[in-house]
Amino acid sequence: MKKKPTKWWGTFHFEERQQLYWELGPLLLGIKRLSHEWHVANDTQKNDLENSSLKIASETSPTFTKETSRHNRYFFHKTEPSLHLIPTLADRSQVSRAETPFYLPVDEHVTIYVSSPVWVRIEVGDKRLMLDEIPSLRLSDTWYGPNTREGELCYSSPTFCRTSLAELPFRPHRVISPIIIQNHSKQPLLIEQLSLPLPFLSIYADMNGNLWTEEILVKNEPHHKNTIRQGKGAPSIVPSAALVNHARLHLKAHNFMTLFYSLLTD
C-alpha cells in the first residue's frame, strides 16, 4: 500500500442545521440535518477512475456541478442527531476486464487483486432508517452471458490485475478482492476478464482502513471445469480485518457453485 487511508465510515453526530461534506474519490457528498428533514446531495461529475481524494466530515463545501449533482430531501416527524455511513458493495456483479490479458501456465497459481468502487449507504437515527445508497463511481453497464438472451446485466471496470500487494494504490473508495487462481488443467489458461459477484461478498476493514472482501479461490480443472470457493472471513493477507458490512445476498452452497462457475472466461 502506498499510503495509509483513513476510516471515512461510521457514526457521525449532526446538530440541527449542521451540514457536513465528504470527498471520497470521485464522489462528493453533502449532508444537512434540519429539525424535520435530512438533505443529501451527491455528485460524481468527474467520474474519474484514478481520483483518490479523501475528505471526511468537512465543513467546507466542495463545488457541486448543477448538471450532474443530485439533491434529495427526506422528511421525518423529528430528526435524530446520529447519521451512519456504511461501505457497501454494488448491487450487481462486476466484470473486470484485464488491461492486458494474461496466461497462467499449467500447474501454476497466482493471487491477483481486483478492486471495485464502494457504495455509500446512508442511515439515520437509532432505528437506522436507510436514506440512500450512492455509488462512489458510476461504472458502465455491460452484459455478461453466452448470448444476448441469456446472461446478466453487470457493471464493467478495467483492471490491472495486480499481483503484488506493494503495487496496490491507495484509493479509499475501492474495495479489494483477492482472487487465487490455480490452473490444474493440461493447457495454459488465458484470462481476459473476471466476473466478481459483488452482491454475495462482505466488506472487511484492516487496521489502516483499507477495505477488503473475502478471498475467492478458483481452480481450473481439466475439461473446462472450474471449482470455486469463497473464503470465510477476512482474507488471509489481512487476517485481523474486521467485518464492516455483510453481503447483500446469501447463497446456498449449490447456488454458489453455479454462480461462480462463470467467474473466469478464456
Residues near another protein, by CB under 8 A: 47, 95, 97, 138-144, 148-149, 151, 153, 156
Question: Minimum distance between the CB of residue 18 and another protein, rounded to whole angstroms?
Answer: 33
Question: Minimum distance between the CB of residue 149 and another protein, rounded to whole angstroms?
Answer: 5
What does the buried/exposed string (b/e) look like for 197-230 if buried means 16 or more CB atoms within 10 Å of the residue's CB?
bbbbbbbbbbeebbbbbbbbbbbbeeeeebebeb
Nearer to another protein, 96 or 183 (CB): 96
Question: Minimum distance between the CB of residue 49 and another protein, rounded to whole angstroms?
Answer: 12
Nearer to another protein, 28 or 95 (CB): 95
Nearer to another protein, 42 or 142 (CB): 142
Question: Minimum distance between the CB of residue 255 and another protein, rounded to whole angstroms?
Answer: 17
Task: Measure the CA angle with vertex 132, ends 197 and 235; round to 5°.
Answer: 35
Nearer to another protein, 135 or 235 (CB): 135
Nearer to another protein, 153 or 243 (CB): 153
Partners of 10 in the β-ladder? 85
Question: Minimum distance between the CB of residue 226 and another protein, rounded to whole angstroms?
Answer: 20
How far is Cα 71 from Cα 64, in angstroms, rounded to an integer? 10
Question: Minimum distance between the CB of residue 144 and another protein, rounded to whole angstroms?
Answer: 7
Task: Measure the CA angle with vertex 65, ends 64 and 71; round to 5°.
Answer: 65
Nearer to another protein, 52 or 142 (CB): 142
Radius of gyration of the chain (CA): 20
